Amino acid sequence: MLDYDLIVCGAGPAGAIAAMVAAQAGLTVALLEKQILPRHKTCGGGTPTVMQTLLHDLVPESFVESTVLSMRHTWNFGDPYLSPINAPDADRPLSIWMMQRSVFDNALAQRAVQAGAELRDGLAVRTVTIEADRVRVSAQAIKANGGLNKGDAFVATARTVIGADGANSITAKAANLRQKPSIAIGMEIELPHAWGTGHPDLRPDVAHLEYGAIKRGYAWVFPKADHLNIGAGVFRPRRQDARNEHQVRTEMQQAIAHYLEALQLSPDLSQVRFHAHPLPIWGGKERLHTQDGRILLAGDAAGLINPFFGDGILHAVKSGTIAAECVIENAVAQYSNRIHAEFAANFDAALSLARFFYQYPGVCYKYGVKNPKSSRLATELISGELSFPSILGRAIGRIQRAMLGDRHGTSALSEG
Residue 14 touches ligand FAD, criterion: CB under 6 A:
yes
Residues 6+ positions from 88 with CB-CB distance below 8 Å? none
Q: At what angle do helices 335-357 and 313-328 cross, to 10 degrees?
A: 160
Residue 41 touches ligand FAD, criterion: CB under 6 A:
yes
Determine which residue in the list 45, 122, 237, 303 makes contact with ligand FAD, applying CB under 6 A: 45
Q: How many residues make contact with ligand FAD (CB under 6 A)?
A: 40
Cα 233 to chain center, whole Å?
Answer: 12
Q: Backbone dihedral region of 71: left (phi > 0), alpha (psi from -120 to 50 degrees) or beta?
A: beta
Residue number, 141 or 279, with CB nearest to ligand FAD? 279
Question: Which residues between 264 and 303 bind ligand FAD (CB under 6 A)?
Answer: 277, 279, 299-301
Determine which residue in the list 33, 65, 210, 380 makes contact with ligand FAD, applying CB under 6 A: 33
Question: Which amino acid, one-letter code, is at 244?
Answer: N
Q: x/- string (CB under 6 A) for ligand FAD, residues 205-244?
A: --------------------------x-x-----------
Q: Beta strands 135-141 and 123-130: pairing type?
A: antiparallel
Residues 6+ positions from 87 with CB-CB distance below 8 Å? 376
Residue 48 touches ligand FAD, criterion: CB under 6 A:
no
Residue 43 touches ligand FAD, criterion: CB under 6 A:
yes
Q: Beta strands 29-33 and 2-9: pairing type?
A: parallel
Residue number, 115 or 396, with CB nearest to ligand FAD? 115
Closest C-alpha among 90, 117, 134 to residue 15:
117
Q: Say how far apart CA 157 and CA 399 lie, in whole Å.
A: 54
Residue 51 touches ligand FAD, criterion: CB under 6 A:
no
Which region among 35-43, 66-74, 282-290, 345-353 touches ligand FAD (by CB under 6 A)? 35-43
Q: Is 52 exposed, middle or buried (0-12, 13-18, 19+ CB in 10 A)?
A: middle
Q: Say how far apart CA 190 and CA 185 lie, in whole Å.
A: 17
Residue number, 198 or 312, with CB nearest to ligand FAD? 312
Which region among 32-40, 289-297, 350-358, 363-371 touches ligand FAD (by CB under 6 A)? 32-40
Cα 11 to chain center, whole Å?
Answer: 14
Residue 374 touches ligand FAD, criterion: CB under 6 A:
no
Q: x/- string (CB under 6 A) for ligand FAD, residues 122-161?
A: --xx------------------------------------
Q: b or e along 222-239 (b: 16 or more beta carbons within 10 Å of the residue's beta carbon)?
A: bbbeebbbbbbbbbbbee
DSSP state of 327: H
CB 327 → ligand FAD: shortest distance, Å?
17
Q: Say how far apart CA 238 and CA 258 lie, in whole Å.
A: 23
Q: Beta strands 64-68 and 70-75: pairing type?
A: unpaired
Q: Beta strands 70-75 and 206-210: pairing type?
A: parallel
Q: Say how far apart CA 345 and CA 12 lie, in whole Å.
A: 25
Q: Say how far apart CA 372 and CA 5 lie, in whole Å.
A: 51
Which region among 27-35, 52-60, 155-163, 324-332 touches ligand FAD (by CB under 6 A)? 27-35
Residue number, 187 or 262, with CB nearest to ligand FAD? 187
Which region among 190-198, 263-271, 281-289, 313-321 touches ligand FAD (by CB under 6 A)? 313-321
Residue 181 touches ligand FAD, criterion: CB under 6 A:
no
Which region among 183-191, 240-248, 383-391, 399-407 touches ligand FAD (by CB under 6 A)? 183-191
Which region among 254-262, 309-317, 348-356, 386-394 touches ligand FAD (by CB under 6 A)? 309-317
Determine which residue in the list 4, 20, 31, 42 makes contact with ligand FAD, applying CB under 6 A: 42
Determine which residue in the list 31, 94, 137, 164 makes contact with ligand FAD, applying CB under 6 A: 164
Binding site for ligand FAD (CB under 6 A): 9-15, 32-35, 41-47, 124-125, 164-166, 170, 186-188, 231, 233, 277, 279, 299-301, 305, 311-314, 316
